Amino acid sequence: MTIRADLDERFDEILTPASLAFLARLHDQFAGRRHDRLDARMRFRKRIENGHDLRFLPETRSIRENTEWRVAGAGPGLDDRRVEITGPTDRKMTINALNSGAKAWLADLEDATSPTWANVIGGQISLFDAIRGQIDFVSEEGKEYRVTAEETPTIIMRPRGWQLVEKHLWYTDRAGHTSPASASLVDFGLYFFHNAQALIDGGRGPYFYLPKLENHLEARLWDDIFTFSENALRIPHGSIRATVLIETISAAFEMDEILYELRDHAAGLNAGRWDYIFSLIKNYRCRGRSYVLPERSLITMTVPFMRAYTELLVQTCHKRGAHAIGGMSAFIPNRRDPEVTERALAKVADDKRREANDGFDGSWVAHPDLIPTARAEFDAVLGDRPNQLERQRPEVSVTARELIDLSGIEKTVTDAGLRSNVSIALRYIESWLRGTGAAAIDNLMEDAATAEISRSQIWQWIRYGIVTEEGTTITHALVESLLQEELRAMQRSGSDRFDEAAEIVKMVALEEDFPTFLTIPAYAQYLVERPAAIAA
């Protein structure tokens, strides 16, 4: 492994010769298989574009029908997950999460983190210090932040997905070929190498969230990485626990199989609602007008295809002894407008009440002020129980067709909804370029997943010439005009990254080609290190 970047303060504590050697071993063993899986993703997408319909795999029917096998389940400190807070790993956000009162913290190196070099390694330093109880932070204004909570959340780290690379670390294989390292292996490897034993000694870890898996073969790859890593560092087999985000449409058809592949390390599945919607649009974007979705605010968890997905997830998890974790509530309380906050908290309560009554064992929030609302709904159902694994949901029966059935959904698109998508995509990407991957926009905590929905809907609405409720036909020229209007309005904020953000929006939403993830071209071409991009 070769470092192609400057080392900031304390970076040498993470990028040690021993940890880099461990990363090299991970790449020796698994870099080739990662490329194979990415190639398989591309072939699979082409099959769907050409008319192949998703189905439950006939070749794995025996796994689904075998009622005997179970997963490892919750590890120490992970029995009760009724409210989990999510967020990036800069020092201030780490301290806020540890003080939040949540049961678990999704320490996010993926969608909520802009992968600047400072954020990637700075996040590892934050986690290193948090695990050892030695983290503090002083803001530029002189405000001190310290961990004051008597009980802190269990840390569940989310590495970046398989599709991403880390351009500041390069791997040379045995044949002498050099390429950027896998971001997944870098994030997992550094965290595991430095913290696995400390987490075991503390009785809470090491635990991971696995993002954007598309099938059980990708789960098998992660399980092999876990086993290899445990053996390499002489960690007892099964110490790792992983919760898989079911946030791709194909993974929804292989939930049993994903848990089976990870059964020695699996703790649960999570209903990653925003990426799931993006995945459906991405894979079915060329399959006709029947697969065009309405604007994002109308795609609730109660529409038929989302309802089928979450019902099947709870049933599958509890049948196998795994936790079912619900989706994100991303509202940011508005202290200047109590009425807006009151209405939003009522919606959060409704969402969490539905999840708790459906059998979910816990759920996500993006802001500490949402924790009391979410916890109250789960407390009302769980009481003193840490979870509700005993709810087997035998009455649930979900067909393959129901998972992709968009009939009966109101297909409303408004002028305001189109403008909102343009604005969110532009403002989020600009924030991401500045090094902030969790951005407060219009009272919501937006991350890469919601920006993906915004840009993919724009692309699809243009393709099919969707007419808004007001009678406006959505065209390439119209969207470009709206983008220029938003750009002029935003440039008054003083940031110099909006022009670059606008170019990225054009690339991922207006060109004929459809990049699989906006972060791939954005990272390769636009994420340039600047002092303003360095996280606290």
Quickly list DSSP for 108-160: ESSTTS---HHHHHHHHHHHHHHHTT--EEE-TT--EEE---SSPPEEEEEPP
Whether 447 is catalytic = yes
Q: Which residue in 80, 108, 275, 447 is the catalytic one?
A: 447
CB atoms within 10 A of CB 85: 25
Residue 405: name the closest of 293, 258, 270, 272 by CA.
293
d(CA 235, CA 216): 25
CA 341 to centroid of chain Cα atoms: 25
- In this structure, what token pair is assigned to residue 21? 């050697």
d(CA 296, CA 71): 35
d(CA 204, CA 231): 19
Alpha-carbon dihedral 275, 278, 279, 282, rounded to 10 degrees: -160
CA 349 to centroid of chain Cα atoms: 22
**Burial class for 341, CB neighbours closer than 10 Å (0-12, 13-18, 19+):** middle
**Burial class for 304, CB neighbours closer than 10 Å (0-12, 13-18, 19+):** middle
| Positive or negative: CA dihedral 128, 527, 45, 315 | positive
- In this structure, what token pair is assigned to residue 255? 């939930």
d(CA 472, CA 210): 41
| DSSP 8-state assignment for residue 506 | I
Q: Which residue in 41, 81, 82, 158 is the catalytic one?
A: 158
- In this structure, what token pair is assigned to residue 120? 């990637």
d(CA 160, CA 523): 13
- In this structure, what token pair is assigned to residue 214? 């598309």
**Burial class for 170, CB neighbours closer than 10 Å (0-12, 13-18, 19+):** middle
* Strands 178-182 vs 207-210: parallel, antiparallel or unpaired: unpaired
- In this structure, what token pair is assigned to residue 70? 């179970």
Residue 133: name the closest of 119, 148, 120 by CA.
148
What residue type is 284 in one-letter code? Y
Find residue 367's DSSP bridge partners. Answer: none
Residue 33: name the closest of 273, 265, 214, 218 by CA.
218
Cis peptide before 206 (omega within 30 of 0): yes
User: Which are the catalytic amino acids?
Assistant: 158, 447
